Amino acid sequence: MAESVSNDPGLATFYRETNYAPVWTGSEHAARRSALVTALSQAGNHGLPTDSYDLEGLITAYREVSSERDRARLEARTSSLFVQYAKDISSGVLEPIRIIPQIVRTLPRPDVAELMHGFVAAEPTMFMQSLVPTCPEYSRLLRAIYQLKERIAGGGWGPQITARRLGPGDTGESVVILRNRLIEMGYLPRTATASYDHRIQAAVAAFQRFHALAPNGIADEATQDEINLSADARLRSLTVALERERWLNVPRGQRHIWVNLADFTTQIMDNDLVTLDTVSIIGSRPDDMQTPEFSHEMSYLEVNPDWTLPRSIIARTYWNSLSAGGARQLEVIDSAGRVVPRSSIDFSRYTPRNFPYSLRQAPGPTNPLGTVKFMFPNPWAIYLHDSPERNLFDNTLRAYSAGCIRLQRPHDFAYELLSRQTDDPVGLFQSTLRSQRQTRIQLAEHVPVHLEYRTAFTDARGGVHFRKDVYGRDARLYEALDRAGAVFRMS
């Protein structure tokens, strides 16, 4: 037995600690085998890589085992399979950072020896069930996937619309195709109407709300592009969302901040309920400006902040102007924090890469950080902040920043964060703002911040929302899941 598990340190530790007592083999362990077989037979319902588990091969091996040596190998094989399944179902199939460097998640991988000890001490079926993520979002995604798979098996949503714009009063084949797709998607009760009436207009508006489009009830080109996406494409989005839920299968905090980059929104959550919701702007699409995905803790906010420019922004936006005597709003700062007169600097000696100074913009109405920033110190220097460019929040796709997240309602956001440490959060914030002094306000309790990227997600009523894959991340993740065999196969 020791030889059979020697290549797996976790299993070797467990079996050494239990004096190599079998967990799976032998008639007395039939309940454990049965619980594992049941879980593996249902793994496909979670989009897990069932081919790699080879359940049929395992069952055959138990029928054919004859020698003690074979029994030891089968014991090790079963434990390895159990551990792999447990990791996949509870913390995800992929290592996301290997696929997309901007996804920096510490996956909740179980300790192998602890996992095995826990299983041996528990009722087998209940333990296997406990491995499945318990977050309501995971259950709702599973339900949405089941319903969508049924629709795909029934032929999908029908032909695509070819007319580029449809609205009230229109009639004809394109309206019928639109009507039928809306019926199959669940936005419209069954009807025989062949004209674009108030019922179709209401259904289109409902569809638009679930896809972050202006809910005007007009099937314009942007709306039809979304309506024409296939059920298979939507299933791919849900598959990735399910995997992403497994990566975040940890307590998120009774109060936490949830940033959905693909939805361009930021929320303060209390006991899984939205306390505050604000429109956001995220990093631009070039790889070096995309907002990364990670979790950290917010510890303070800074009112009337100055802005120290990242080196990348100096090079991309300000260097030519700076060396030509422009960008006068920026102060040049040395390593000791002192302001350096520009007249003392020969800019021709430097490039953005070797420039030995920092650039800083003082607090004020034109400062890109606006009136407040919200800090959760991290290696990527990402934070939330106000912005003087208010018009950008009116756009649908809001990927404009150099990586940080801009909030449309930063003052309301501050009031809500401060509401747990003062009876007058508005007064505290506004008096600090009026002082015009750069001021740090520590949060009495740190708040977990989760920067996520969900192109498919549900609401509390089970409604399924879809968003554009603005960074192209989910497409790459789906390809990786497909290579791993961790997708839903529709035969």
User: Would you please indicate which residues are annotated as catalytic (active-site) residues?
Assistant: 385, 404
Widest Cα–Cα separation across the chain: 88
Place of tokens 């079926």: 125
d(CA 190, CA 348): 72
d(CA 489, CA 482): 10
User: How does DSSP assign 359-423, residue by residue?
Assistant: EEE-SSTT-TTTTEEEE---TT---EE--S-GGGGGSSS-EEESSSEEES-HHHHHHHHHTTT-S
How are beta strands 307-308 and 358-361 bridged, if at all?
antiparallel
- Hey, how many other C-beta atoms are within 10 angstroms of the C-beta on 253? 18
Q: Which two tokens stand for residue 215?
A: 């809910």
CA distances 257 to 39, 136, 262, 366, 406, Å, are 34, 17, 15, 27, 14
φ, ψ of residue 249 to 5 degrees: the values are -80, 60
Q: Which residues contact 97 (CB under 8 A, 6 or more apart)?
A: 103, 104, 105
